[in-house]
Structure 1
Amino acid sequence: MANATTTAKISVQDVRKTFQLKNKEFVALERVNLDIADNEFVTVVGPSGCGKSTLMNILGGLEEATAGQALVDGRNVSGPGPERGVIFQQYALFPWLTVRKNVEFGLKVAGVNAKDRRERAEHFIDMVGLGQFADALPKMLSGGMKQRCAIARAYAVNPSILLMDEPFGALDALTRVKLQEQLLDTWNREKRTVMFITHDVDEAVFLANRVVVMAARPGRIHEVIDVDLPYPRTEEVRLSPEFAELRNRVWHAVYHQ
């Protein structure tokens, strides 16, 4: 398991983010500090309006911090970059492209030749269990299959970091559990640094090395909780007393601040 005391892959240092709402300043984030180690899986939970997505957008280079800095590999984040794959709750697939062409898209933009594009796309399509649907259009896929396609597309460009904003939030419970297990299996094999936003406390504990609990008004880190559960995370782990104890601790931190 990754250790946060090692050199940080992601470092958030005194980040503040404000927005102007009419004639009033709204503070979305206030003095946020967080280090995430290489290959660490961190989940982020907290009440609505606590700035979870704003923090991820800053790390993804989609928004700028008002003060402080966000660093990746020791370099200031100044915009999107290929080392950071971003996956949102909305699948954002091109409806006119097949699964294979969607997964190849980022590689094509990067100038990868057709043969290598196809080989790499097929590897990740098979990895997420969509081999039989490589030539299907998104309209032929279920919600879970679309999200698996989005994950394969993110992995295909070989990012060292995955930023995931409630990617399973709109899925049914069974599909969600299956994708959680599949994501962890992929993470164990491929190894990436993952920051995963969720509103689901069970999901947060099941996936993570550490759970970051945020508080609102203004958005800030309330508590960071280590998850000392073994990988691979199985249904047996999910039903264990240790899991229940951690879940209750995170739940209390989120809803009884």
Structure 2
Amino acid sequence: MTAKISFREAGRTFPVKDGVLTALEKVSLDIADEEFVTVVGPSGCGKSTLLNLAAGLTRPTSGEVLVDGRPVTGPGPERGVIFQQYALFPWLTVRGNVEFGLRLASVPARERRERATRAIDLVGLGDFADALPKTLSGGMKQRCAIARAYAVDPQVLLMDEPFGALDALTRVQLQDRLLATWSEQRRTVLFITHDVDEAVYLARRVVVMAARPGRVDRIVDVGLPYPRTEEIRLSPEFARIRNEVWHAVYHQPAATTSA
């Protein structure tokens, strides 16, 4: 399979009061075109830093990150980024929020509205296109944020714990909706989470990060068929894979600081 995203011995350090903090160290990972990959690991293992490198929000201090074989030097429209915080404009409707990136890209008004409508319908918010964020539930706000990312038609979705602040039922519902849209759109997805069940349920492969300095500890293949269902979530094979990932995440030495 062709690599859509490649981390090649990527490292990232940050200055701290007493020296240097090594957040990531020699991370090498290839993510195939249209693949859904989740990343889990202990707190402070560099999961979000990894995503920020792919997004171009920060630069590696060693190694490189490539998308389609080209070095990532900054943010780009081919990469949509979705964070835990929705970051919606409270004075804009759902449609206005979804159209915002298209407006910045000078997309003509008619096309902008058509693309926004498709994205809003894709995430199931068609009846709320004219609603303001203050009238939406947390799950609906996150769906609006996902629609905004979809509207600009990115090839890659980079998602940093997007469902982390939601209640358990809403979280499961959004997992199912995300997989439904992924099955239809087939974008490449890099999804950061601290929830092992979520990581296994969504992904073709789960990347387990080692405690700081962050590095790839192991990659677990999830040989479960799509579409994923409640039956799969309750299956013995799901439990087996979940236990493997759980053990890999929670039986690691504590994070250390490199100076």
Length-normalised TM-score, structure 1: 0.97
Within-5 A mapping of 1:117-156 = 117-156=112-151
Whole-angstrom CA distance in 1 between matches of 2:34 and 2:212: 31
Give the fraction of aligned pairs with identical amino acids, expressed as a percent: 74
Whole-angstrom CA distance in 2 between matches of 1:201 and 1:255: 10
Spell out structure 1 runs of 4+ moving beyond 6 A: none
Task: Look up the SS of the partner of 2:10 in the other structure.
Answer: strand
Within-5 A mapping of 1:1-257 = 6-257=1-252
What runs of 5+ residues in structure 1 fail to find an aligned partner?
1-5
Whole-angstrom CA distance in 2 between matches of 1:202 and 1:22: 37
Whole-angstrom CA distance in 1 between matches of 2:25 and 2:211: 10
Whole-angstrom CA distance in 2 between matches of 1:131 and 1:165: 25
Instruction: Count residues with an aligned counterpart.
Output: 252
The offset of 1:82, in angstroms, is 0.2
Whole-angstrom CA distance in 2 between matches of 1:200 and 1:252: 13
**What amino acid is aligned across from residue 16 of structure 1 in structure 2?**
G
**What amino acid is aligned across from residue 131 of structure 1 in structure 2?**
G
The offset of 1:111, in angstroms, is 1.0
1:40-75 Cα distance to aligned partner (Å, 9 max, x none):
000000011000000100110000100000000000
Length-normalised TM-score, structure 2: 0.97
The offset of 1:217, in angstroms, is 2.0
The offset of 1:187, in angstroms, is 0.1
Note if contact 2:46-2:212 (Cα within 8 Å) is conserved in structure 1: no
Task: Look up the SS of the partner of 1:232 in the other structure.
Answer: coil
Whole-angstrom CA distance in 2 between matches of 1:19 and 1:129: 41
The offset of 1:121, in angstroms, is 0.5
1:117-139 Cα distance to aligned partner (Å, 9 max, x none):
11111111111111111011101
Aligned twin of 1:3: none
Task: Look up the SS of the partner of 1:150 in the other structure.
Answer: helix
What runs of 5+ residues in structure 2 fail to find an aligned partner?
253-259
Whole-angstrom CA distance in 1 between matches of 2:144 and 2:151: 10
Whole-angstrom CA distance in 2 between matches of 1:68 and 1:175: 39
Task: Report the aligned-residue RMSD.
Answer: 0.6
